[in-house]
Structure 1
Amino acid sequence: MPDNPLIAIVDDDEAVRTATASLLRSFGYRTHVFASATEFLASGMDRQAACLITDVRMPGMDGMELQQVLIAQNCTIPILFMSAYSSDTVRQRVLAAGAVCLLEKPFDSEVIVRHLRDALKPPAAPSD
């Protein structure tokens, strides 16, 4: 994995997209932003990005539907969810489907970077 992995950010709120991308770039990550889940899927970035950060609630295809599409396509990109309207049900659903975390907006910059670093760690080698 490159020293500055590419992070895809999907959020319908332009201010959140811009702020999140700026924050991650300040930590050395490359970013590519998308206004919708369908825009992200159409870009082919699901096979290029090292990690996906997506909002849960968006018009059209929401983040949970995006996660299901990626699973159906056997895409194993790590996903960090963010939401201003999280619930235990949503948290359990996305985590059960393999998400790294669900961050509640607004979130602390150190929290998202810590989760992102964990998501980008190579898988541990199986022990004998």
Structure 2
Amino acid sequence: MNIQIAVIDDDDSFRIATEALIRSLGYEATGYASAEAFLVDRPHQDADCIISDIQMTGMTGIEMKERLNELGSGVAVIFVSAHTDATLPQRVRECGGFTLLHKPFHGQILIDAIDRALAALQE
């Protein structure tokens, strides 16, 4: 089974580095510079996991997750953010996000979150 992971972030360097990390784990990775580009491309139908920034130009990561919820998608979304807004953890929980990682973080933290999200798929 090919594991598909979507990376959505308007920070090109973070997105490209994250895609490379995911591929090094043997998974397929596709990057998107915006939530809108991701939704238009419709990969959410095939994604096993999504890694998404919260604060992006246009639609936020949380708004994208709410849209996926409306479409009936239960895909795990790992949110990442450089912002330290105290309300973010609650907002992530309320929209059904899998977890929230604060940038910058060590790659192993993301790998562990991906492993937990994929393990939850098996349950």
Which TM bucket (shorter chain)? over 0.9
Q: Based on CA coordinates, which of the two structures has the bigger radius of gyration?
A: 1
Shift of 1:95: 1.8
Cα deviation code 1:69-99 (max 9, x no counterpart) = 0111111110000000032311111123221
Q: Which has more helix, going by share of residues?
A: 2
Secondary structure, counterpart of 1:88 in structure 2: coil
Q: CA deviation at 1:7?
A: 0.3
Equivalent pairs counted in the alignment come to: 122
Unaligned runs of 5+ residues in structure 1 are none
> What is the TM-score of this pair, normalised by structure 2?
0.94
Give the aligned partner of residue 35 of structure 1. 33
- Alignment correspondent of 2:97: 99
Partner of 2:57: 59
Amino acid at match of 2:61: G
- 1:69-108 equivalent positions in 2, closer than 5 A: 69-108=67-106
Amino acid at match of 2:46: Q
SS of residue in 2 equivalent to 1:22: helix
Identity %: 36
CA distance in structure 2 between the partners assigned to 1:86 and 1:56 by the alignment: 11
CA distance in structure 2 between the partners assigned to 1:27 and 1:72 by the alignment: 31
Superposed structure 1 runs of 4+ greater than 2 Å apart: none
Q: C-alpha deviations, 1:17-68, integer Å up to 9, x for none?
A: 1010011111111100001000000001010111110000000101011011
Please report the TM-score for the alignment, with normalisation by the length of structure 1.
0.90
Letter in 2 for 1:42: V
> 2:109 corresponds to which letter in structure 1?
V
Amino acid at match of 1:40: F
Q: Where in structure 2 are there 5+ consecutive unaligned residues?
A: none
SS at match of 2:79: strand
Question: Which residue of 5, 14, 37 maps to 2:12?
Answer: 14
Q: What SS class does the counterpart of residue 62 from structure 2 fall into?
A: helix
Does structure 1 retain, via aligned residues, the 8 Å contact 2:62–2:95?
Answer: no
